[in-house]
Amino acid sequence: MEESICIQKLNSQNDQKFKNWDFLSSDLTEKILSYLPIRSIIVASSVCKIWNSIITSSSFTTKISATKKQPWLFLCGQNSIFYNNNQPFAYDPDANEWISLPTSTLLSQDFFIGSNGFFFATTSEKFSFKPIFNGIWVQTSPLRFSRCNPLVGVYNIGLNRRFIVVGGVRFVGGLVDVEDRLAVEIYNPNLDNWELCPPLPADFRSGNSSQWLCSALLRDKFYYVFGIYSCFITCFNLDEHLWSEVQTLRPPGILFSFLVTCRDCLVLGGLCNSTNGPNFVLWKVDEKTMEFSELATMPQALMYCLFDSDEDDKFASLKCVGLGNLVYVYNEEHLKNYPACVCEFSNDFGMCSWRKLPNLPPNASKFHRVISFCSNVSLDNILVGARI
């Protein structure tokens, strides 16, 4: 009998708590909701009309987009035989969890690329794009120079976006065209128009696809192209449409490396031979002099967590992408379910911390090719047609 009375009192107290929640001011409710990860905010928008009106207001979405700037990691797996096994995933650093995205996100038969809020699909004959979380695939007017697997970047001119497409493999009669002129084109989505630009310098001819090259966008002004193995680097001025002189950016002992943008600075991340064995090192690069200074080294224990074999070439499957204050490093082999880690920098690069990412969702398949990129994710972008 006493137990029954206690339960009734507890239920009464809980009811009163929920009633008290209803009397919270909209300002206080908004403040509480703002502390949630973006994905939780999306779920909260379906709780009641009041929360939905707060979350979908322009003032709230603007505030959340400004404060939650940690870039998400997108990892898209492609199966060359069974297209239905293609899968896209997104890692939310605020929630520290992977999200399985709808498989309809991908166009099955095309080369797939991602950059700065957009997915891209290319074949030798067409080029398509769509926003990450909403909208539909849009096929552009034909490129002037058809190509597969190019570098693609997204930048802004005021409030207008532009897509820059660099290099890529061109096929003639089923064979790679080794005399391809490394075409560069810029797309204006508002006009559905391609502008032909000066081609990529000939130094990059031996490896002109995204398999051998990477790129980094700096302040919507400069688009850097870097040879993962050659260590050649050049810069395309997005205002003047001119390429800079090709230089070499090769720290001592480097085997391969990737150029990314962090904190409005160029950062190089790569595997380096040292007296202690292989290390994955991050360097800050001076954009004017191309001089570099070491920022951080991945802890050995963490690096070996990314592998489960003793083969000498096991490190060759390491890849690196970055944006904002985060640099992600992952293993593109399926042996350990594509393990990844991240290095987080302070505002002035004075401090950094490494951590391992959780495993991909258990439904992840084995892929023939993995494409990854970083992108800032805004609440406004997700609210429109999101399916998380």
Q: What is the mean pLDDT of residues 200-212?
A: 80
pLDDT digits (tens, 9 = 90+) for 129-138: 988 877 788 9
Q: Is the pLDDT of residue 388 over 60?
A: no
More confident residue, 303 or 353: 353
- What confidence score (pLDDT) does residue 46 get? 77
Q: Is the pLDDT of residue 308 over 50?
A: yes
Q: What is the mean pLDDT of residues 157-186?
A: 79
Question: What whole-number distance in Å separates Cα of residue 226 and Cα of residue 167?
Answer: 12
Nearest CA to 149 out of 176, 117, 130 is that of: 176
Amino acid at 216: A
Phi-psi category of residue 264: left, alpha or beta, with phi > 0 → left and psi -120 to 50 → alpha: left
- What confidence score (pLDDT) does residue 385 get? 44
- What confidence score (pLDDT) does residue 220 get? 94
**Residue that the structure tokens 């398999």 belong to:** 211
Q: Pairing mode, if any, of strands 97-100 and 87-92?
A: antiparallel
More confident residue, 283 or 13: 283
What percentage of the chain reaches a pLDDT higher than 90? 41
Is residue 305 within 8 A of residue 338, CB to CB? The reply is: no
Q: What is residue 340's three-state secondary structure? A: strand
Q: The pTM is what?
A: 0.85
Query: Predicted confidence band at 205 (pLDDT cuts at 50, 70, 90)?
Result: confident
CA angle 319, 323, 325 (to 5 degrees): 110
Query: Predicted confidence band at 313 (pLDDT cuts at 50, 70, 90)?
Result: low
**Residue that the structure tokens 């850097």 belong to:** 224
> Mean pLDDT, the chain, as a whole number?
83
Q: Is the pLDDT of residue 278 over 90?
A: no
pLDDT digits (tens, 9 = 90+) for 174-185: 555 556 668 999
Q: What is the mean pLDDT of residues 365-382?
A: 82
- What confidence score (pLDDT) does residue 2 get? 43
pLDDT digits (tens, 9 = 90+) for 6-20: 434 434 544 544 455
More confident residue, 315 or 237: 237
Residue 227's DSSP bridge partners are: 213
**Residue that the structure tokens 């008290």 belong to:** 20
| Backbone angles phi and psi of 132, in degrees to 5 | -60, -50
- Which of 88-97, 242-251, 305-314 is most confident? 242-251
Q: What is the mean pLDDT of residues 117-142?
A: 86
Q: Is the pLDDT of residue 311 over 70?
A: no
Query: Predicted confidence band at 234 (pLDDT cuts at 50, 70, 90)?
Result: very high
Q: Is the pLDDT of residue 237 over 90?
A: yes
Q: What is the mean pLDDT of residues 199-227?
A: 88
- What confidence score (pLDDT) does residue 211 get? 80
More confident residue, 2 or 94: 94
Q: What is the mean pLDDT of residues 319-341?
A: 89
Query: Predicted confidence band at 85 (pLDDT cuts at 50, 70, 90)?
Result: confident
Nearest CA to 202 out of 187, 185, 184 is that of: 184
Secondary element (H or E) of residue 271: strand 265-274
Question: What whole-number distance in Å separates Cα of residue 145 and Cα of residue 238?
Answer: 20
Helices 58-67, 26-34: axis angle to 10 degrees equals 30
